[in-house]
Structure 1
Amino acid sequence: MPSTETAHEHSGGELVPVKFSRLTRRGILLGLSLSQLITLGVGGASLVAAFYGGGGVLFLITAPIWVLAAAITWIPVAGRPLVEWLPVACWWLWRSTGRQLAYRRRIVTPRPAGTLALPGDMARLREYTDPETGAGMVHDPTAGTLTVVTEITHPAFVLLDPGEQERRVTAWGRVLATVCRSGRIATLQVLERTLPDSGQGLAEWWAAHGTADGSWAATTYQELIDRAGPAGERHATTLSLSLDMRAAARQIRTAGGGIKGAAAVLRQEMGTLSAALRSADLTSKGWLGTGQIAVILRSAYDPAIAATLERHGDLGHDLATAGPVAVTESWGHLRSDSAYHCVVWISEWPRSMVHPGFLSPVLLSSGIHRAFSLICTPLRTDQAARDIRRKKTEYISDAAQRARIGQIEDASQTAEYHDVLQQEADLTAGHGVLRYTGLISVSAHSLEELEAAVAAIEQAAIQASCETRVLVGQQAQAFTAAALPLCRKV
């Protein structure tokens, strides 16, 4: 479940620490979730039936039922009750028996025009090129969203002085507040990737500034560029904006309806976001076309080809063939074309006050091919207000029930209640509410390298005061959300 944070602005020249809301672990009754209450009810019903049926032997006959119900209700596995693993395990079993864990592209069968050659439920995605901006848009007819992507460049945040860092954090808060006030945005995704450097930048710099006069110095410098360029890595950041076509249905009809009307409404949001990014000193390289999106998708599934695609102009700029050739999903990892992948979920953001830039141990880790995805889901003001009122009512009723039975109040429950009160105060002050989901996709050429890279990322997350978990049983779906700039959700 994602964490919640209010999008507002800080003032002052000093770097102000921030705090995320805790991951709520509140249940329906006395901390028990719906699934726990159901299993507990089944076990209790079997005990009551045995008692009224005469007891004795009936208690022994029904023992497997109520013992199993009690076990799966309270026995934790990897921090979660066993009953909460049942949906994941059942879904995995159903997919494995239905042979849905492997994807192979049909080479001789042409894809329908306008579709994306992607595995799983992403096969329903459609591509559309905006005639006015030339931006490539990805339409999800089932979810009712239209997504566009832009590449962002920015200076190194950790190298700025505290005053400049605070100014940029405040400006980024205004960007998020703009997204919250729209009411038509489904998702905002920030994707930061490490890519193998093709050496093209160094080669272009040498061609523009170097002197290839055949001297020993020039020859040695050229050899160093040829060797060091492909061995390095670079960082790329994209920002994806997804329009909720259901929430913007009236505006879409006014703009002409259909995908063209949705594109017109999305262009308005693109203009608003571009202006907000400029005020935050974030440089947009323009909205990506379908060819540029195709290169990102191909590089995610096939990292070995990323440097080649960058060096060779228009190679791989076909969104209809940008998907993987083969994908095989396992319980704890995913294999595609030239790499193994594992997706890690940031299950708990820092519980204490932290300064912006706390994720630098994760984002600046070197020698690891990874993609960090921050999925921001803005909540409408009325929806956020109803959610806060519901949480307050549940907390107060749970506290009264615990006091009635003599149960001691837990400090974590008190902290969660204070988080709800803080969100209510921020919402009343006019700020927006966002739900954050952090995912890290780690890629490697072998399983041994993958395990070492995942361990390094988990250690870096500990340094960033974050808790992480490997998303078992759902790696394929998690990879699309963590490594692809399509505003997908888990």
Structure 2
Amino acid sequence: MSTEAIKSPTYGNWRRPRKAGLGAFGLVGTIGLFGGLVIILLSSLISIKAALIAGTPIALVIGPLAIRTQDGRNVYNIMALRIGWARRKSNGQHLYASGPLSARPGGRFRPPGMLSKVVMLEGRDPFDRPFGVLHHRYRNLYTVVILCEPDGGSLVDPDQVDIWVAMWGDWLSRLAHEPGLRGASVVVETAPDPGTRLATEVLPRISPDAPPAARAVMEEVVDTYPDASSEMNTYITLTYGLPGGQKRATDEILADLALRLQGLLAGLIGAGGGSAEPMSAERIAEVVRVAYDPAVAADVLDLRAQYGGTGLDWLDAGPAAAIESVEAYQHDSGVSRTWLLTLAPRGTVRASVLRSLLDPAPSIRRKRVALLYRPIDPATSAKIVESDRRSAQFMATSTRGMVRARAASEVSAAEQTAAEEASGAGLVEFSMVVTVTVDSLAEIQDANVTMRNLLGATRIAMRPADRMQAAAFTCALPAGILPWEQTMMPQQLQEAM
């Protein structure tokens, strides 16, 4: 008899988008480089001194485009970040205060930053369930938040996990065919369980005539169980946009979103999302309120368990005060630090690659892991994969030695991507944001150590979002903030740099 080894499926073949242009210069740098060479050659016809005078400013302008960090940022990107932080700090924009005693109009606790101009709407789906819609007025975007209770990976056959991954990939590829969809995100939030829900479920059900020993056992379970348990919530946001200049009635937009939700929810259930339902406006406000003030998490759960809701409005979901510094973001009862993805795992990984990062950490008050997805339409996907394929083939034929082995691997990955796209697979750009919240500023250093340990097992490279902690904190919330939609510079120009 011959035994066949059981192999767990592996996944991979993600690739960082290639920038057009020569080497690290990018398209803008390459155009500037060749234009500068032409100017220098014409100046050299006059004299060498004229060529040096013309070439020096060109080198000073073009040179910083070729100096890049590990995550692809050039010197101009870093300078813009530092200048923006210096301006915000000098204008006092790193400080935030709200409420009746603040100078802000209305006297409400409106969420700060990029959420300050967001308006909450609410509609009804075909099952007459309320669902909240976040209207980003300054970008004309609409966000729907879905609450999921995904099936766990414990005691699940590898074949079932592989089916879930395949169905999740199919669900992501279908997002590219959603009219007007600008982006999506998956936010997994973990926190220690305060025990409120367990006490609410167990204690009222204890019979007055129960034996003292049985009553003591149940009360001890209620007291001790939360110490070893955690609360885990999964949110999925879908952000839609209207074409430039187009205006539609609010009722029409809510009706359109209500009809789209059912097909999306069915796909999530098939991908292992468990029970999935749209979140009401009140539930979305509660999630944002707890993120800014973790100390009220037990109170929110208690009120929801006793009365079915808290009555919280979106205009009161923000913090009373917040302070942004270079390395942290202080908000009400918590201090947070956020990390951004710089490099995905090289090679292939298994389905459990993010398990250590998603699991709750004992020394952390709350942790949110947000995966951001930007679907690409089929026409643009075909152009991108063919361009990457030609670039990989050029690099493989123009290099020698050890570099050629890596170039050959790039060719193989590009060919596989092109074949999968031609057979109907979708192309999606993704990134990840991780926010860690602790009780005080003194615990930030311990959070840094914990984060390094968590990333070590995932083979993922991340960097702290220094000098933009407030904006990064907002991007990790289930509020539909898409980073590529918040920049002042056009997206095409950013990609060219």
Give the TM-score band, short-chain normalised: 0.7 to 0.9
Aligned to 2:139: 143
* Distance in 1 (alpha carbons) for counterparts of 2:291 and 2:146: 17
2:98 corresponds, among 86, 105, 123, to: 105
Question: Are 1:326 and 2:321 an aligned pair?
Answer: yes
Matched, 1:433 2:427: yes
**1:245 has 2:242 as partner:** yes
The answer to whether residue 130 in structure 2 is matched with residue 134 in structure 1 is yes
Relative distance call for 1:361 and 1:196 in structure 2 (3 A) is closer
Quickly say closer, same or farther: Cα 1:169–1:43, change in 2 above 3 A.
Answer: same
The percent of aligned pairs where both chains have the same amino acid is 21
Partner of 1:383: 380
Q: Per-residue displacement from partner, 1:291-345 (whole Å, max 9, x unpaired)?
A: 1111100111111211221112333621111011122212222111111111112
The answer (yes or no) to whether the contact 2:230–2:360 under 8 Å persists in 1 is no
For 2:183, what is the secondary structure of its paired residue? Answer: strand
5 Å-filtered alignment, 1:46-195, equals 55=49, 72=64, 81-108=74-101, 117-132=110-125, 133-195=129-191
Normalized against structure 1, the TM-score is what?
0.82
For residue 428 of structure 2, what is the amino acid of its counterpart? L
Q: CA deviation at 1:127?
A: 1.0
Contact 2:133 2:281 in 1 (8 A): yes
Q: Check whether the contact 1:14–1:166 (CA below 8 A) recurs between aligned residues.
A: no
- Secondary structure, in 3 states, of the residue corresponding to 2:176? helix
Offset of residue 347 of structure 1: 1.6
Q: Distance in 2 between matches of 1:125 and 1:376?
A: 21
Q: Which SS does the other structure have where 1:441 is aligned? A: strand
What letter matches 1:237 in structure 2? T
Give the alignment of 1:302-317 within 5 angstroms. Answer: 302-313=293-304, 314-315=309-310, 317=312
Output the amino acid matched with 1:326: A
CA separation in 2, counterparts of 1:247 and 1:389? 29
Query: In the alignment, does 2:363 pair up with 1:372?
Result: no
Q: Does structure 1 residue 361 correspond to structure 2 residue 352?
A: no
Q: Distance in 2 between matches of 1:153 and 1:37?
A: 49
Which residue identity is paired with 1:374? Answer: L
Q: CA deviation at 1:75?
A: 5.5
Name the aligned partner's letter for residue 451 of structure 1.
Answer: Q
Q: Secondary structure at the match of 2:199?
A: helix
Partner of residue 3, structure 1: none
Deviations 1:78-103 (A, max 9, x none): 66543441221222223223322222
AA matched with 1:444: V
Q: Answer yes or no: is the 8 Å Cα contact 2:338–2:469 preserved in 1.
A: yes
The answer for the alignment partner of 1:10 in structure 2 is: none
Structure 2, unaligned runs of 5 or more: 1-5, 485-497
TM-score by length of 2: 0.81
* 3-state secondary structure, aligned to 2:342: strand
Tell me the CA shift for residue 282 of structure 1.
2.7
Using the alignment, how far apart are the partners of 1:307 and 1:231 within structure 2? Answer: 16
The 1:207/1:439 distance shift into structure 2, 3 A limit, reads same
More deviation, 454-463/333-342:
454-463
1:206 aligns with 2:219: no
| Structure 1 unaligned residues grouped into runs of 5+ | 1-12
How many residues of Structure 1 are paired with residues of Structure 2 in the alignment? 466
Q: Which of 211, 231, 236 is 1:234 aligned to?
A: 231
Counterpart in the other structure of 2:459:
465
Decide which of 296, 299, 306 is 2:290's aligned counterpart: 299
* CA drift at 1:268: 2.1
Distance of aligned partners of 1:199 and 1:106 in 2 relative to their CA distance in 1, 3 Å threshold: closer
Task: Tell me how far 1:175 sits from its aligned partner.
Answer: 2.2
Secondary structure of the structure 1 residue equivalent to 2:436: strand
In the aligned structure 1, how far is the partner of 2:407 from the partner of 2:77?
20
